[in-house]
Structure 1
Amino acid sequence: MTTHSPTPTGELPAVAAPDETAPSVKVAPLIAVLVVSAFVMILNETLLSVALPTLMADLSITAVTAQWLATGFMLTMAVVIPTTGFLMKRLASRRVFQLAMGLFLVGTTAAMLAPSFAVLLGARVVQAAGTAMVLPLLMTTILALVPLRSRGLVMGLVGVVISAAPALGPSISGFVLEHGTWHHLFALMLPIIVIALVIGLLFMRNHTEPEKVSLDVVSVVLSALGFGGAVYALSSISRVVEGEARLLPLLAGGIGLVSLAAFALRQVRRVGRGDEPLLDLRPLRVRTYTVSLLVMMLSFATMLGTVTALPLYMTGALGMNTFAVGLTMLPGAAASGLLGPLVGALYDRLGPRPIVIPGAALMAASSWLAMVLLDGEASQGLVIALNVPLGLGMAMVMTPLMALSLGALPRAQYGHGSAILNTLQQLAAALGTAVFIALLTLGAAVAAQGGASGPIAQAAGASWAFSAGGVMTSIAVVLACTLRPSREPAQG
């Protein structure tokens, strides 16, 4: 088996392109099924954001308890994703697909029928376990089977999943809740997943062979404590700001940081001894991969924070109902989804910099303008006009950088590179959501103390939140300018 050693610059050597090494499979239907499956699963992550007040009333739970439906989902994702690199080596790709879809199907069915909060929370955890496996599987399948010359176009579809699906969740939720109950949110997904599973079983063939690698249990425990503790601490920032809970989040954050340091050290040592790591961290030594990762994290944190804070602003400051909120969020999500494939095709022709830098700048401009212009009297049209550029910019950032970052790795590192990317995206999602909500809460409290009325105070808090997006995306612009202008071909 050929091994790859880093060059003195830290770049892993390129590996053969899949044009010649990819197995003969029906690629297009397979990619389509994986894209649809991943889209539904990622959409599901933000589907309940608008439904939380309804769930609180229906299940007789507090806002803090209801928030666990989002926190539990993110925690599970953060714990499971680091193991996907191991899973994709230990299991054939078809088996990983069956496991992921089966878990999500069971979780969705249980959520649809859930009679209580405890059952619903358990169902969300099962859903998250399946979701954690699908996106890495989709990315590694594309990298293994799609020729380099077409990879940007296909990655554009993944960009739709990453950027449009989370933004579309609140829109769909608002429409469904206007005419049904929260149970129907899960009923809507069920037939799509069943059809995708059946079609996937027809077309999915193994493009990876199982390897006899052992599971490092100590690494699994350290990973769970580290990533789980970090996500919990980040998701609790708003409660810390409100003074509700401080000791537990701080303790979880401390344990998380120590565990992450121990986890990283153990992975490096296992690689040095020639043992199989749970999560191979060598992709982080590739500059192109790491810079791309940082830009994607900052952009994703801004998008998820905005998707969470904007509906709260529209309901609290502008007095919109859930249907109006969903309608207002829809154009931004649609813009991101429609632009994704076009951006992918442009990436194949132009490379990353001419697309990523303007995209990050568009997100920054949208965030700063939202901070200034979205007050207590803003029109629905203005909210849409500021949200659409954010969605467009997100597509322009995520699509090229996913292809660029993973394409800079050797084929043997695809699984681990994808696992790192998706794990850090969950941390970015937790960070963005937590920071936006904390600033919204703090800004509203400060405004209220100054004598502002409820809606005006909510608008002031939203302005604080959107400033966080402006800062993060401005940093992303600077980092994007350091990306190398030419794409590094992946070899296999």
Structure 2
Amino acid sequence: METQKQYNTRAILASLLICGFVGFFSETALNIAIINLMEVFQISAATAQWLTTGFLLTLGIIMPMSGLLLQSFTTRQLFTGSLVSLIAGTLIAALAVNFEMLMVARVLQALGMGLLLPLMFNTILVIYPPDQRGEAMGFVGLVIMFAPATGPTVAGILIEYLSWHYIFWLSLPFLVIGWLVGLKYLENVTEVTKPRIDLPSVSLSTLGFGGVVFGFSKAGEGAEDGSGAVVIASIIVGLVALVLFTWRQISMREPMMNLTVFKYPMYIVGLLMVLACMLIMMPSMIILPMFLQNGMHLSAFTAGLILLPGSVLNGILSPRMGRLFDRYGPKWLVIPGLVIVAIMLWFFSGASPASAVALLVALHIGLMIGIAMIWMPAQTNGLNQLPPELYPHGTAVMNTLQQVAGAIGTAVAITILTGGMESYLHGSATPTAPSELANAMTAGSQHVFLFAMGVTLIGLVIAFFIRRVPVDQTAMHAPH
């Protein structure tokens, strides 16, 4: 196999992107509907939160196994499996008449996404030569950023004029189209090596990643009676299991998750940049809508509209940033990107109910442009340093830690927000007055933005170590 095999890269990429877009869209579209669902199903906020926590938990459990799955099944088998799960989940959600039914649907959707995401990254690494990868990864960036961002806006419109069921009815036809295009053009791009499935590794990884994600997601729901002990216990159990999991992977000949990816310095830098982006993104995706609705008393729909221009721009710019990365390498994108993000977060930390809406739109646009400059260039550069046989493992490690960082970022953001609100109200003469509650929301939000700025500055220091990975074109296509 000396020559590069010709794939219909456009059609393959299109089918993966359509399915990925719908998956990500439904992941966040439901967040806007949570308040609505609490009324319809007569459930508490903590129960409703499970629609998100359950989704993240399933991803946290399935992602670490993705490297193993990519080597055990053909590309087409995994693609079909992920889509059957996504379509079934979406259909059940569209027909859901109670909370339990919707919960089952969310788990099925997360299973589908947990298989689809690593498959998407891995397929792109295999079918695109390194000098075109940046742009292809940029399109993935478009989906990862743009779909979750449009979710709340579109959901806001659907809930206002139809009902939350339509979030899923709208998604179904796109999934079916994506599946049919994939069935026609997607080829088996990886070798099936059928590695031995090591049950202790599977159990330790499930317990480890599952425990950490669950613990932090629970912490993010806010302290309720006795939940503190549950949070601490599940995080400790998770961490102990992860230490054992790591030790087992290092000592095995055919590990489930090959940790030798950590021998590649640029992969580590790329991974740290992705995690930093995740920690910056989660607070701003969760806290900003809350600040707009509770601090500035805007409707969910208006809040969605304020966040739309930045998200759309981020989506449009991702492939272009990929193209710039292909041409100039990561450094000239990542470092300025982090500087822009830090400046925007600094301004956000001064936002108040009196802030002009136009200013918030502009700051959000700046933030999203900065993130587009960091995320995909750093990620692609890191994955480019790995030899092809480590692609499945490299993407598995990155996707898993990204989910964990998302759960941790959310929990930390909510904790800082509540802490900031409580300390503000503690010093207030009229803590129950609506204006004071809005001010407390503002104070809490400002603390979260300062935390995100701290993460950005640490990222900036690390970014000075980033350098372009020279990719040997011939090694890519030599037979393994």
**TM-score, with structure 2 as normaliser:** 0.95
| C-alpha deviation, 1:160, in angstroms | 0.9
| C-alpha deviation, 1:99, in angstroms | 0.6
| C-alpha deviation, 1:21, in angstroms | 4.7
Counterpart mapping for 1:306-455 below 5 A:
306-372=284-350, 374-451=351-428, 453-455=436-438
Q: How many Å separate the matches in 2 of 1:370 and 1:379?
A: 12
Deviations 1:121-153 (CA, angstroms, capped at 9, x unpaired): 111011001101111111111111111221111
The answer to whether the 8 Å contact 1:104/1:131 transfers is: yes
The Cα RMSD (Å) is 1.6
SS at match of 1:48: helix
The answer to whether the 8 Å contact 1:77/1:426 transfers is: yes
Does residue 442 of structure 2 align to residue 459 of structure 1? yes
The answer to whether the 8 Å contact 1:445/1:457 transfers is: yes
Q: How many Å separate the matches in 2 of 1:97 and 1:485?
A: 32
Does residue 68 of structure 2 align to residue 86 of structure 1? yes
The answer to whether the 8 Å contact 1:76/1:128 transfers is: yes
| C-alpha deviation, 1:487, in angstroms | 4.2
Aligned identity (percent) is 36
Q: Which moved more, 1:444-453 or 1:86-95?
A: 444-453
Q: How many Å separate the matches in 1 of 2:82 and 2:20?
A: 10
Letter in 2 for 1:133: L
Q: How many Å separate the matches in 1 of 2:349 and 2:391?
A: 39
Letter in 2 for 1:478: V
Deviations 1:144-170 (CA, angstroms, capped at 9, x unpaired): 111122111111101112232222322
Cross-structure match for 1:153: 135
Shift of the 244–489 alpha-carbon distance from structure 1 to 2, 3 Å rule, reads farther
Does residue 45 of structure 2 align to residue 67 of structure 1? no
The answer to whether the 8 Å contact 2:273/2:379 transfers is: no
Q: How many Å separate the matches in 2 of 1:422 and 1:77?
A: 9
| C-alpha deviation, 1:399, in angstroms | 1.5
Shift of the 24–485 alpha-carbon distance from structure 1 to 2, 3 Å rule, reads closer
SS at match of 2:467: coil
Q: How many Å separate the matches in 1 of 2:110 and 2:220?
A: 23
Q: How many Å separate the matches in 2 of 1:21 and 1:244?
A: 61
Letter in 2 for 1:64: A
Cross-structure match for 1:179: 161
Equivalent position to 1:97, from 75, 79, 90:
79
Q: How many Å separate the matches in 1 of 2:363 and 2:256?
A: 42
Q: How many Å separate the matches in 1 of 2:55 and 2:174?
A: 21
Deviations 1:93-113 (CA, angstroms, capped at 9, x unpaired): 111100111111111111111
Deviations 1:217-259 (CA, angstroms, capped at 9, x unpaired): 1111100100010001111224555665211111100100000
**TM-score, with structure 1 as normaliser:** 0.92
Letter in 2 for 1:309: I
| C-alpha deviation, 1:75, in angstroms | 0.5
Letter in 1 for 2:81: L
Q: How many Å separate the matches in 1 of 2:90 and 2:272?
A: 32
Cross-structure match for 1:164: 146
Letter in 2 for 1:316: N
Cross-structure match for 1:477: 460
Shift of the 208–415 alpha-carbon distance from structure 1 to 2, 3 Å rule, reads same
Q: How many Å separate the matches in 1 of 2:44 and 2:184?
A: 45
The answer to whether the 8 Å contact 2:384/2:469 transfers is: no
Shift of the 449–97 alpha-carbon distance from structure 1 to 2, 3 Å rule, reads same
Shift of the 447–242 alpha-carbon distance from structure 1 to 2, 3 Å rule, reads farther
SS at match of 2:355: coil
The answer to whether the 8 Å contact 1:364/1:470 transfers is: yes
- Alignment coverage as a number of residue pairs: 469
Cross-structure match for 2:92: 110
Does residue 261 of structure 2 align to residue 283 of structure 1? yes
Q: How many Å separate the matches in 1 of 2:189 and 2:6?
A: 9
| C-alpha deviation, 1:25, in angstroms | 2.3
The answer to whether the 8 Å contact 2:130/2:471 transfers is: no
Deviations 1:394-452 (CA, angstroms, capped at 9, x unpaired): 11111212211111100000011001110011011111111111111111111111216
Q: How many Å separate the matches in 2 of 1:181 and 1:122?
A: 20
